Structure 1
């Protein structure tokens, strides 16, 4: 018994011993960070800074990348409670306003997800060399989709998401440099020149606006 306890103590120090089965978790409700995103066919890749407000159901993205070999820069503000997304052009003081076709999906592990694995990213020789993460999988039956989501064991910060639907194909997203909180909450409000913009006819969801 003493040998087993000693072994578990060593494993705890190296991040290999989990005291309990990984639990479904909720990401911090206010979050800032960066993300990269790419599509299966390689036609689209982008890197974006984001701020995320699960309480107000708002997301702001500042995106740079390439779509079909063309460079892009996009500033997007999603207001899910109001059902609109703004494409913001600060330089020209203009906005495009489109209705949102989907609902807010918080960064959390859904209740119907199942645990795929718990692993250490990076090294496992000592505590500071690696990151303990949990990977969950599940289906999105309303659209025939599926996902593989990885979050940190401690804090439930998003690490990566692999998502598939018949419309989008496979989309790979990686999250990094995340911190709790939002530095400037005003960035989650439309600029003064945006609310007067006429609403376009085309409905967008998160991925179609992002692309």
Structure 2
């Protein structure tokens, strides 16, 4: 009997130590970079993320085909609208947002690829423990494959590879993450957007990875 109890305790202990799927903090801010396989696009963005209200703000600089562009968008998934904002000219375009909201989280059916230390494990503070997961995700536009890496403690996103038959691979790397909203006003349309009329959906490659 004691042997059985000991075996059960060891089994439970092993399960407790195995990395588990997780959700990132519901409010986050930081920076990210995006590169695509088919679009030949590299972009760097400041992001503000509200997983509770399903709102995302991206202010970025992109370099498609060796050209530079600036894009500032507010994605309101609950309302199904996207605002393309030009603060310099005080103009705003309002378009339908038909893409899925994908929260910053590891789905419960994800498969663990492995756990590694980024940096060095020789000295405390020189490395960070991360978990890499993979799986399939059903979206409105079909099945997508993903490989995501998050920190073991806090479930802070590090990188994500996202693939669909239509767009190929999209690589996203996160950096300078903070928990909370650096500026809550980023998630509210500016006053000059109040008169914007809803237009037909237009494809914006830099934001579809969300």
Q: State the TM bucket, normalised to the shorter chain.
A: 0.7 to 0.9
Partner of 1:45: 42
Q: TM-score, normalised by structure 2?
A: 0.86
Task: Note the 1:129-148 alignment, pairs <5 A.
Answer: 129-142=126-139, 143-148=142-147
Pick closer, same or farther for the CA change 1:195–1:32 going to 2, 3 Å.
same
Contact 1:30–1:180 at 8 Å: present in 2 too?
yes
1:161 has 2:160 as partner: yes
Pick closer, same or farther for the CA change 1:151–1:33 going to 2, 3 Å.
same
Spell out, residue by residue over 1:52-108, the C-alpha distance to the aligned partner (whole angstroms, 9 max, x if none). 011111000110020122101110100011000111000111011110112321100
Q: How many residues align?
A: 193
Instruction: Give unpaired runs (5+ residues) of structure 1.
Output: 1-17
Q: TM-score, normalised by structure 1?
A: 0.86
Pick closer, same or farther for the CA change 1:208–1:168 going to 2, 3 Å.
farther
Q: Residues of 2 paired with 1:134 and 1:161: CA distance?
A: 12
Per-residue deviation, 1:195: 2.5
Partner of 2:187: 188
Instruction: Give unpaired runs (5+ residues) of structure 2.
Output: 1-14
Q: Residues of 2 paired with 1:119 and 1:209: CA distance?
A: 29
Contact 2:74–2:83 at 8 Å: present in 1 too?
yes
